Amino acid sequence: MTRLGVGLSVVVLAAACGRPKLTLPTAKEIEAHYTYRGKLTARMNGNLAEVTVIQPTSEISRGGVLWAKVGPYVVLFSDDTQSLFNDYSGLAAVRVTTRLAGGREIASALLRRNELSDILWRRSLHIAGMARKYGTKRPALLDDLVSWGEQHTQYKYNGQYTSTP
């Protein structure tokens, strides 16, 4: 095959492949990805998945500032979020917002698709897993998750629940 023939084959192959199809989940597909014991709802806002979870009032009253801050990270740094990014190529970010049953926002955190490399994802899953499993007995693990989340997300806390007197 001549040089021109090889070059033309590459151009034809590239044109046939075209751009990759960017897919987005529906709200129901997002909700199906997450395993959360409490109430979880989701919606799409452009290419941003917005997940809202109801955090029990007892956690906030008993756990105070730390439990108020850690809420979004417990859900965000999970296999569930990672699989959303893997399954939907057009998804740019996931935002998790925690609220009380009455609707008042406690905290939110936004994780962009390319924020975490594979190694950082593994680290995130480890930190979050340890916090979920042992955090009640070892609050320092919750604090580690909050610190990790603050380094890798855009976050916002409601000062009514996260300010210390």
> Tokens 């580690």 — which residue?
144
Domains and CATH numbers, the chain: 25-159 (3.30.300)
Residue 165, pLDDT score = 53
pLDDT tier at 97, thresholds 50, 70, 90: very high
Overall average pLDDT of the 116-129 stretch: 98
Global pTM value: 0.86
Q: What is the DSSP letter of 47?
A: T
Residue 64, pLDDT score = 87
